[in-house]
Chain A
């Protein structure tokens, strides 16, 4: 495990610059998690390549808008990689408006859906994605619904409120 922490640290410094530091935590069962904030958005692609070289597997991508970062006009995306049981999280801080990240799909094939979902639910542009179609939500819904309040009935396209009631009343009058 010491080898892993040393190798990851060396590879990330080499790929993303001297300021890149990984903080490692070991839980009660000895499972390692590594946490690293990348110095810039540009560092993501070389850092991801370095993780791929170390036989890392992309496990999950988490975009989010932390309240305080939102006030500062920032958003974050965390990329979680599996390294033979240990999890390495690389976080990039992006501007709230005009946020762009390079696509990791050419490096990790399984990043495809994760990036399509990220583009669909958040106002983030993924540059260089081979297939940037919407994945989950109907095209009639506005873009980036996780960034604003969309009524649940609209979100799930379940028109159970006024539209249904009007229909019921309309049918009663017809009869």
Chain B
């Protein structure tokens, strides 16, 4: 059998961001893999120490586009923990609404890209069409289709008027049937089954060893969701089940995402129904004292973690974050081993990789 090394870039892998792979082949099967990050390394962890805590909210929102609400909200939670700021209850619910809208849009984007990777163009169009309802909701509520600018230290900087609430209720209603249909498609359509079931399998033990997070972990039967394990914001008062699958293949990862998108619709409805009245942001913010804190959240791709250390000035001494994708790249070595070359783009996209987040 011939052994060969090929290098694959974003173009061959249907990635919208630059990441390179050195793949060792035996015949037409993958034997080993080396991931080569760093093409969009912007030194952002260095930049945040040259901006004050308020300016950093804006910078962190630009880390990447799909999880662009999770970064500022988790960062704000870290600052609030250091300073002992309790955010108003209404703000907790409004943060959850923004997070869940972003989660639906992110999960659907991932499913769409995978449909594209296997040449199912009508399905790609359909998923993006359903996602468009959320894009329009973002534009209507926040004035932007990607970065929502919803968070400030101590709360949020947007409100939902009764018309906004009614609009969101309708948007959620419009999502339900299409999301159920998409779930049935990804679960039962014979063409998708043939391309996605038993492909790119990550066994549970390997998932634990690689310490994968988010839908990639939950698709292997690991029942871990930050919203349940380390509740934050309004999530301790919202009802949902952690979506898990056991097969650990591409199909299972998509089913977890589509189940979560459907749950997010319910979570937004619960937030709208329970939305308490009151202020949007804590008045009188205290000075930020010296201290350190950890803040975690369930970003669309999984556990997002922030460590903040302050010295009493407005500038962080250290701000470090670890994104969910950072944990998931290594698992590709297991998922791709023995797979034909033709499956590489699909399997790589099935972990929903975020390159700008990984490189920072």
Write the residues of chain A forming the contact surface with B, with a CB cutoff of 8 angstroms.
27-31, 33, 35, 57-60, 62, 64, 66-68, 78, 80, 82, 84-87, 89, 108-110, 112-114, 135-138, 145-146, 150, 152, 155-156
Contact = CB atoms under 8 A, between A and B. Distances in A.
A152 to B, nearest CB: 7
Nearest to B308: A62
Given A64-B317, A152-B43, A135 B292 contact: no
Interface of B: 37-38, 41-43, 45-47, 81, 86, 209-211, 226, 229-232, 236, 292-294, 296, 303, 305, 307, 309, 311, 317-318, 320, 322, 326-327, 329-330, 359
Contacts of A68: 311
Contacts of A28: 86
Given A60-B305, A146-B46, A156 B330 contact: no
A113 B307 CA distance: 18
A59 B45 contact: no
Given A57-B211, A62-B318, A66-B317, 13 more contacts: A29-B230, A29-B232, A31-B232, A60-B305, A66-B311, A66-B318, A80-B294, A82-B303, A85-B230, A87-B230, A89-B292, A109-B330, A155-B46
A60 B37 contact: no
A30 B231 CA distance: 8
Contacts of B330: 109-110, 112-113
Contacts of A60: 305, 307, 320, 322
A64 B232 contact: no
Contacts of A89: 292, 294, 307
Contacts of B317: 64, 66-67
A150 B229 CA distance: 40
Contact of B43 (A82, A108, A138, A155): A155
Contacts of B359: 136
Nearest to A85: B229
- The residue among A27, A78, A87 with the most chain B CB atoms within 10 A of its own CB is A27
A67 B318 CA distance: 10
